[in-house]
A and B are shown apart, each in its own frame.
Chain A
């Protein structure tokens, strides 16, 4: 058996955290088992002299306060350390390559920005941040990459995000770790981390019928989106936003929601809005957008989201093509 490799700097940081936890645990276990054995050796029945109970009672408050506060201090330190490493997962770098992952019973479908598609295999370049946009076509799955020490549940009907920067080339195992029915234990895949040159070569050799954004642009017209939403290239006129909000510059902008919150329109927002169109407060558009749930498959949604991102030119151009 070989030890689990660390394929990213994050994996190394997690292992240091785990090592810290192991050391604290061993110290506490040593204390508990040590005291238990010592007590048994010293205080076996028939071997002991009189017990100073009064003293023990008197001291007990100090003992209680001492070990309660020691426990609290150690726990709070651990809490801060682990939280800080977790928060990072919620902040994908803006220049990350976005790869779309769809789970279904019992396989993983992967779509790259360049239009390449794979089943049960994920290829990424070393040294560059990669953001996975995860969704499911049926039940809840979980995309787990032990070599990177990360995982996230994959939910039907919405996007979840997982990002990493792999630093070590090679092949690593991926698992579905949320029980998803009959074939759960066979829903595994391989992550291949390549150096930049090999990755470019692989992208070129993998068959693709147009980039994801191109496919999305075609869908934008075919599904009727362009009938209401301005995208500056198709009817209605670029400036006409009477029927529906313009898609130009939407990605990355702040959007006010009916419940009073304002959120940044990220990939998950675009995806979820196509399935469950949000009500925009204060807006009076001529048409009500229908839900595209059941009309567009997750592959189509990934392409549409990739296309809509290209309509926000102020942001870094879509990476990875």
Chain B
């Protein structure tokens, strides 16, 4: 077998012009880690400011820029790309048994587009700043804002092409590059999740692009689209924006669900319970996700009938999510459970995502939403999904595939400690915000009435713990690159094709194209391969 993809040609040029999906995944990993750190600094400053009712360190203007920066960077430069472009890029061909993605050059182009969009956004955010929030509501953004709306909006426009390129690449690869014997129902559930995500990338992102271009036109040329004084309609912007941004919420959670399915199966040593239900629930989340956007507008002035219909669909979309949670629990039942760091993250995901999903029911319930929307309740709700859910899954996935990506084991004790600390810090940060929201504290306030201080201090304390916990993996992952134990090909005893090649894999992934003869998660087959008799348990039926 030839050399690993990491060291085959170590020049900078070979990295920057690489078409190897694994190297592109690492380029992405470096970039989104930097953006995650930047967004995290924004979050830290926000929590520092809110220690005191009158604000501690930032002026109102700077605070407004800070939460806008935090939102824009975290959504478009970290969460939307996160799992798909790093773990997804690395794993899709390996899980399919393919040499690379269908369009390797397009894959590299998507990274360059991503970097260019990131730089444009950063230019806007730091040379002049932006204070519209990540939602860009008109006419604040199109007429009244004095911030750098145009560079940021154009940056996000460009970012969309990067997303679409990745989406197209995954869809075509999953259709065309499956190894012999790899039928749709033998695909790992991670690929079902990434497939559903890719469909959203391709169908929803263009609408965001169009919306932001119209916003740019209105701001530049005073074309009346959204501004009522020019004959436009400010609610039209919200309709179009959320038509993308609600499906984008599922872009930011489906890949996490895929990762959790993989981890839960491996660490319970059991096939995922209700495989087909979990697979199709990804697809139905993606589909129903397109018809719930109006639930962001229950108090915005949409008609009574729209509100009722959107509320009903919003309840529907949580059914497939509930199915997933119950199936993961069903997978654990009767398994052989190991609590390594990836499993701790996956269990954290299940718990926190459930809290996020249940509080989503509060917001789907029309009359309750009227009271809770636009308060800290909403802030807490979506952080439970995005951070408690997606970021936990992302970290779980990084730990799980770290041996495959780098050929080194991370230190297990530190991994477990960080996972536990993240869970604790996260809850301390965001649980108090549910209560703040019920009490009526509005979001995006630089200053607030003194009665809310205690809960804000608790939340900020949690954020401090969370910050430390997020830095820990950075340190021990870095350490493991040089001092970590050498990883075997299949350190967890997992079933996917990615574990049938070397750690780290050679550039061409597999010495010869693997042939798939069993369903996903067939541990009996795995044991047979290892040449061991299956001790005690019956073979897969």
A-side residues, CB < 8 A to B, are 1-4, 13-14, 17-18, 21, 24-25, 28-29, 32-33, 35-36, 39-40, 43-46, 48-54, 56-57, 60, 63-64, 67-68, 71-72, 75-76, 78-79, 81-87, 89-90, 105, 138-140, 142, 144, 146-147, 149-153, 155-158, 160, 173, 175-186, 188, 293-294
Q: Which residue of B lies closest to A153 (CB)?
A: B300
Q: Does B323 sit at the interface, judged by CB under 8 A? A: yes
Q: Is the CB of A179 within 8 A of B133?
A: yes
Sort A-B residue pairs by CB-CB distance and give the 8 closest, nearest first: A146-B440, A82-B365, A157-B228, A85-B367, A86-B366, A185-B445, A39-B332, A177-B374
| Most chain A beta carbons < 10 A, residue from B131, B311, B315 | B315
Q: Please report the C-alpha to C-alpha distance between residue A142 and residue B61 in the assembled complex, in whole angstroms.
A: 20
| With A142-B299, A185-B446 as contacts: A82 and B311 at CB distance below 8 Å | yes
Q: Is the CB of A146 within 8 A of B371?
A: yes
Contacting residues, chain A, for B368 (C-beta < 8 A): 14, 17-18, 21, 82
* Total residues of chain B contacting the partner, CB 8 A: 92
Contacting residues, chain A, for B311 (C-beta < 8 A): 79, 82-83
Q: Is the CB of B440 within 8 A of A36?
A: no
Q: Please report the C-alpha to C-alpha distance between residue A267 and residue B445 in the assembled complex, in whole angstroms.
A: 32
Q: Please report the C-alpha to C-alpha distance between residue A42 and residue B277 in the assembled complex, in whole angstroms.
A: 25
Q: Does B428 sit at the interface, judged by CB under 8 A? A: no
B-side residues, CB < 8 A to A, are 60-61, 64, 131-133, 137-140, 143-145, 228-229, 234-235, 268-271, 273-274, 277, 298-301, 304, 307-308, 311-312, 315-316, 318-319, 322-323, 325-327, 329-330, 332-339, 347, 350-351, 354-355, 358-359, 361-362, 364-371, 373-375, 438-440, 442-449, 451-452, 454-455, 536-538, 540-541
Q: Please report the C-alpha to C-alpha distance between residue A82 and residue B312 in the assembled complex, in whole angstroms.
A: 11
Q: Which residue of A lies closest to B335 (CB)?
A: A43
Of the A-B pairs whose beta carbons lie under 8 Å apart in the complex, a sample of 5, sorted by A's number, is A21-B361, A43-B337, A44-B336, A138-B139, A139-B139
Contacting residues, chain B, for A89 (C-beta < 8 A): 367, 370
Q: Which residue of B lies closest to A28 (CB)?
A: B358
Q: Is the CB of A29 within 8 A of B355?
A: yes
Contacting residues, chain A, for B132 (C-beta < 8 A): 179
| With A144-B442, A149-B371, A156-B234 as contacts: A56 and B229 at CB distance below 8 Å | no
Chain A nearest Cβ from B139, distance in angstroms: 6
Chain B nearest Cβ from A12, distance in angstroms: 12
A-B contact count (CB 8 A): 267
Q: Is the CB of A51 within 8 A of B537?
A: yes
Q: Is the CB of B334 within 8 A of A51?
A: yes
Q: Which residue of A lies closest to B536 (CB)?
A: A50
Q: Please report the C-alpha to C-alpha distance between residue A35 and residue B331 in the assembled complex, in whole angstroms.
A: 11
Contacting residues, chain B, for A179 (C-beta < 8 A): 64, 132-133, 137, 140, 443-444
| With A72-B319, A75-B319 as contacts: A54 and B374 at CB distance below 8 Å | no
Q: Is the CB of B307 within 8 A of A40?
A: no
Contacting residues, chain A, for B322 (C-beta < 8 A): 67-68, 71
Q: Which residue of A lies closest to B298 (CB)?
A: A86
Which one of B229, B448, B449 contacts A293 once the chains associate, using CB atoms below 8 Å? B229
Q: Is the CB of A177 within 8 A of B442?
A: yes
Chain B contact residues, majority secondary structure: helix
| With A36-B329, A146-B439 as contacts: A177 and B375 at CB distance below 8 Å | yes
Q: Is the CB of A173 within 8 A of B274?
A: no
| Most chain A beta carbons < 10 A, residue from B235, B270, B332 | B332
Contacting residues, chain A, for B298 (C-beta < 8 A): 86
Contacting residues, chain A, for B316 (C-beta < 8 A): 75
Q: Is the CB of B323 within 8 A of A186?
A: no
Q: Is the CB of A144 within 8 A of B440?
A: yes
Question: Given A25-B358, A157-B229, 7 other A-B contacts at CB below 8 A?
Answer: A25-B359, A39-B335, A50-B537, A71-B322, A151-B373, A156-B229, A160-B301
Which one of B137, B350, B358, B452 contacts A178 once the chains associate, using CB atoms below 8 Å? B137
Contacting residues, chain B, for A36 (C-beta < 8 A): 329, 332, 347, 350-351
Q: Is the CB of A183 within 8 A of B442?
A: no
Q: Which residue of B lies closest to A159 (CB)?
A: B301
| Most chain B beta carbons < 10 A, residue from A24, A86, A89 | A86
Contacting residues, chain A, for B61 (C-beta < 8 A): 182
Q: Is the CB of B336 within 8 A of A43?
A: yes
Chain B nearest Cβ from A94, distance in angstroms: 18
Q: Is the CB of B443 within 8 A of A177?
A: yes
Contacting residues, chain B, for A149 (C-beta < 8 A): 370-371
Contacting residues, chain B, for A293 (C-beta < 8 A): 229
Chain B nearest Cβ from A236, distance in angstroms: 31
| With A40-B337, A87-B304, A176-B442 as contacts: A78 and B273 at CB distance below 8 Å | no
Q: Is the CB of B336 within 8 A of A48?
A: yes
Contacting residues, chain A, for B268 (C-beta < 8 A): 43
Which one of A28, A67, A82, A157 contacts B367 once the chains associate, using CB atoms below 8 Å? A82
Q: Is the CB of A150 within 8 A of B370?
A: yes
Which one of B229, B315, B449 contacts A75 once the chains associate, using CB atoms below 8 Å? B315
Q: Please report the C-alpha to C-alpha distance between residue A167 and residue B350 in the assembled complex, in whole angstroms.
A: 43
Contacting residues, chain A, for B299 (C-beta < 8 A): 142, 151-153
Contacting residues, chain B, for A18 (C-beta < 8 A): 362, 368, 371, 438
Q: Is the CB of B361 within 8 A of A57?
A: no
Chain A nearest Cβ from B437, distance in angstroms: 10
Chain A nearest Cβ from B45, distance in angstroms: 16
Q: Please report the C-alpha to C-alpha distance between residue A146 and residue B440 in the assembled complex, in whole angstroms.
A: 5
Q: Which residue of B lies closest to A27 (CB)?
A: B358
Q: Is the CB of A139 within 8 A of B140?
A: yes
| Most chain A beta carbons < 10 A, residue from B339, B358, B447 | B358
